[in-house]
Chain A
């Protein structure tokens, strides 16, 4: 069964450093997403991406965040200057359509900012 692959599984970074979280979505999917889950809390939408541009973003997705699909297969989330409160599990997801099919999620990257 096709999978969404995320790397690394765990990243520790110092406050103020830049991090790039990587995802390889399912190859024939068209819609891509980043979500995050702060430990013990709900899963929150960050951004959606379609046709090489952001289609929607939440209030959380401010100027310190950016996304890119650099080579047609990878989908990356960059956090420019990490803060302690960015510590969370970040999930990438992809979908073949907007409605009705659900998303396939990766297993997540646990980001710890120290």
Chain B
């Protein structure tokens, strides 16, 4: 079945540091890939998405590229801010199956 594996957290970075959160997936066919963010005390918000190989999703300075050859969708940001502190979830949707989430990676950014 479809599954998502993302790096274990927590990740703690200083402000303006470079962020990478790794995500790899297993799926049949050609899934769509997503990153969701959950700020403290809030629900899940779609951060970015990519629907086919080599697509790059981007939003709020975050970006991720759909790499079919490595089955990866790593999240990156060049310069993190304190306000980026949140839990980040990689997810996929394949065929007519519901969205499947990774376990989430908690990011803490310190000033």
Contact = CB atoms under 8 A, between A and B. Distances in A.
B75 to A, nearest CB: 15
Contact of B99 (A42, A103, A106, A108): A103
A105 B101 CA distance: 13
A42 B103 contact: yes
A72 B102 CA distance: 32
**Which are the 5 A-B pairs with shortest beta-carbon distances?**
A107-B43, A105-B44, A100-B51, A43-B101, A42-B103
A91 interface: yes
A42 B104 contact: yes
Contacts of B32: 99-100, 102
B79 interface: no
Contacts, number: 53
Contacts of A107: 42-43
A45 B100 contact: yes
26 contacts: A33-B99, A35-B101, A41-B103, A43-B89, A43-B101, A43-B104, A45-B98, A48-B98, A56-B97, A91-B43, A91-B44, A93-B99, A98-B96, A99-B32, A99-B51, A99-B96, A100-B93, A102-B32, A102-B36, A102-B46, A102-B99, A105-B36, A105-B43, A105-B45, A106-B43, A107-B42
Given A100-B51, A102-B34, A102-B49, A43 B96 contact: no
B89 A99 contact: no
